[in-house]
């Protein structure tokens, strides 16, 4: 993903919007209410509505134990023309492993929302999202009342309320929006997400909705979304667990009157969508359950990109690596050992490993939401003011100063750069450390 946010004429082709979110694009409204689904009593149900039918696409969990909302949404997107009016989402109860009754509840949420929102919507024009505890049925009387109240409170500035309502173990909301210039004019890409634990490639316990007022066919939106997810939401991991409910949706309602048509437009729109997805994905990692460090794992020099991704994923999910990171311990042997069990060709005598404080996303100068920042490709040169510490060179200890390495591993943001020395393949993953706080959060989650 390459998003240029400046040009010599002083007219930036892409600008982050202050307080931007899922309703920043034209023609979208949202509302959130407390329906009594969360034990805290906080907001737990939200509706997002497009004033006009929007092209829709989705990417879902690959977990074969899929929640009822996932089954409903897959059917909607596979069986129709991909035109959607609304998304209804609840937090607190996942509606997963609930049998035929749970599927009926998800379908009832479609019908209730379609009947409640302004305009003429059919149930199959409503997508459903749920997150929370697995194995519990939804209290549909509360859900029905919540949908009715939310539908009567829809507002163009309701995206922030939606971002809070969908939180579970999240400690902060996650939203952002970007304005990008196309040949026919400006369009906006905005998004909202939730996620903190049960985060792993092939999606995670995360829900995300991305909206745009650009106009493009369903097939193009689907292809663009899948490409964006591959390099963003599917490159993050907190704990190696993939959920039953993971969903990323994209809606394009064309309200800006600007079509994505030319190759240059398609590149610009792809870059904007990837930037929004990456910002949301990074926000999920930064809010990882019990996490104290945000870690970029960059692997290069693999025989191909797939091999680099396998190595980066193995390092990013290794409990031994993650616990060393939690302790600020530069135990680089664990990193090389993880690379060696990734199932792809490696030669330990060619490996070079460095670590640097910093990395991930640079601070945005264009008004991004406080919990997000401007996406940039991972690089070993992190801009932290200190050069990377080379830990291993050609498979052997590099003679580094132990205190300098310890200082890097004690930083809140760390970049690990592993050069396998075999070819041109490269890949980046983003992960966290693994702390006792993570265990405390998850040891008694349902009791």
What are the pLDDT digits (tens) for 156-172? 999 999 999 999 888 88
Q: Is the pLDDT of residue 109 over 50?
A: yes
Tokens of 255: 């309200």
User: How much of the chain exceeds pLDDT 70, in percent?
Assistant: 86
Q: Determine contact, residues 63/185, Cβ cutoff 8 Å.
A: no
The stretch 135-163 carries a mean pLDDT of: 97
Nearest to 200 by CA among 157, 161, 243, 167: 243
Q: Is the pLDDT of residue 374 over 60?
A: no
- Interval 59-71: pLDDT, tens: 998 888 889 999 9
Least-confidence region, from 177-191, 222-236, 320-334, 347-361:
347-361
428 is catalytic: no
- Interval 216-232: pLDDT, tens: 999 999 999 999 999 89
Q: Is the pLDDT of residue 114 over 90?
A: yes
The stretch 119-126 carries a mean pLDDT of: 93
Tokens of 43: 């907001």
Q: Is the pLDDT of residue 286 over 50?
A: yes
In Å, the largest CA–CA distance within the chain is 70
Q: Determine contact, residues 305/425, Cβ cutoff 8 Å.
A: yes
- In this prediction the pTM is 0.87
Least-confidence region, from 174-178, 289-293, 312-316, 380-384:
380-384
- Interval 394-428: pLDDT, tens: 999 999 999 999 999 999 999 999 999 999 999 99
Q: Determine contact, residues 327/319, Cβ cutoff 8 Å.
A: no
The stretch 79-101 carries a mean pLDDT of: 90
CB-based contacts of 374, cutoff 8 Å, min separation 6: 5, 16, 275, 279, 361, 362, 363, 364, 365, 366, 368
From 205, 212, 232, 435, the catalytic residue:
205
Residue 147 to residue 145: CA distance in whole angstroms:
5
Q: Where are the domains of the chain?
A: 14-286, 294-443
Q: Determine contact, residues 347/301, Cβ cutoff 8 Å.
A: no
Q: What is the pLDDT of residue 41?
A: 92
Q: What is the pLDDT of residue 171?
A: 86
Burial of 11 (0-12, 13-18, 19+ CB in 10 A): exposed
Q: What is the pLDDT of residue 241?
A: 58
Tokens of 323: 């616990």
CATH, range 14-286: 3.60.70.12
Q: What is the pLDDT of residue 146?
A: 97
Q: What is the pLDDT of residue 376?
A: 35
CATH number of this structure's domain 294-443, picked from the four choices 3.40.190.90, 3.40.47.10, 3.30.450.20, 3.10.20.340: 3.10.20.340
> How would you classify residue 343: left for phi > 0, otherwise alpha for psi between -120 and 50, otherwise beta?
left
Tokens of 393: 């060179």
Q: What is the pLDDT of residue 7?
A: 41
185 three-state secondary structure: strand
Q: What is the pLDDT of residue 359?
A: 66
The pLDDT-based confidence of 132 (bands split at 50, 70, 90) is confident
Q: What is the pLDDT of residue 128?
A: 97
For residue 62, what is the enclosing H or E element? none
Burial 155-191 (b: 16+ CB within 10 A, else e): eeebbbbbbbbbbbbbeebbbbbbbbbbebeebbbbb
Q: What is the pLDDT of residue 427?
A: 95
Q: Is the pLDDT of residue 72 over 60?
A: yes
The sign of the torsion formed by the CA atoms of 317, 320, 326, 331 equals negative
**Averaged pLDDT of the chain:** 87
CA gyration radius, the chain: 22
């Amino acid at each position: 993903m390459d998003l240029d946010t400046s040009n010599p004429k002083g007219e930036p082709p892409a600008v982050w919007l202050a307080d931007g979110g899922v309703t920043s694009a034209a023609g979208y409204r949202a509302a959130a209410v407390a329906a009594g689904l969360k034990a805290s009593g906080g907001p737990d149900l939200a509706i997002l509505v497009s004033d006009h039918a929007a092209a829709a696409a989705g990417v879902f969990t690959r977990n074969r134990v899929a929640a009822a909302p996932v089954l409903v949404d897959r059917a909607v997107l596979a069986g129709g023309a991909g035109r959607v009016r609304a998304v209804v989402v609840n937090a607190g109860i996942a509606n997963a492993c609930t049998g035929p009754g749970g599927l009926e509840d998800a379908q009832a949420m479609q019908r209730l929302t379609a009947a409640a929102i302004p305009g003429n919507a059919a149930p199959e024009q409503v997508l459903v999202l749920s997150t929370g505890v697995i194995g519990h049925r939804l209290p549909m009387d509360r859900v029905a009342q919540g949908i009715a109240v939310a539908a009567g409170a829809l507002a163009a500035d309701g995206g922030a309320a939606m971002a809070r309502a969908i939180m579970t173990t999240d400690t902060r909301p996650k939203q952002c929006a970007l304005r990008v210039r196309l040949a026919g004019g400006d369009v906006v890409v905005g998004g909202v997400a939730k996620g903190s634990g049960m985060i792993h490639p092939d999606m995670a316990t995360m829900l995300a909705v991305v909206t745009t007022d650009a106009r493009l066919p369903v097939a193009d939106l689907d292809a663009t979304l899948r490409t964006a997810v591959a390099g963003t939401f599917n490159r993050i991991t907190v704990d190696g667990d993939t959920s039953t409910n993971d969903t990323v949706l994209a809606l394009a309602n064309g309200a800006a009157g600007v079509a994505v048509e030319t190759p240059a437009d398609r590149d610009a729109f792809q870059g904007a969508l990837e930037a929004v997805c990456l910002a949301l994905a990074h926000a999920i990692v930064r809010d990882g359950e019990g996490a104290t460090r945000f870690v970029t794992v960059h692997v290069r020099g693999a025989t191909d990109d797939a091999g680099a991704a396998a190595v980066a994923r193995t390092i990013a999910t290794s409990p031994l690596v993650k616990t060393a990171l939690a302790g600020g311990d530069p135990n680089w042997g664990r990193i090389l050992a993880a690379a060696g069990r990734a199932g792809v060709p490696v030669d330990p005598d060619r490996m070079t490993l460095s670590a640097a404080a910093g990395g991930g996303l640079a601070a945005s100068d264009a008004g991004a939401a406080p919990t997000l920042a401007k996406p940039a490709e991972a690089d070993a040169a992190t801009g932290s003011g200190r050069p990377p510490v080379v830990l291993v060179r050609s498979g052997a200890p590099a003679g580094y100063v132990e205190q300098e390495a310890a200082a890097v591993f004690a930083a809140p943001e760390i970049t690990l750069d592993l050069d396998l020395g075999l070819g041109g393949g490269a890949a980046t993953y983003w992960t966290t450390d693994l702390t006792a706080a993570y265990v405390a959060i998850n040891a008694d989650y349902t009791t």
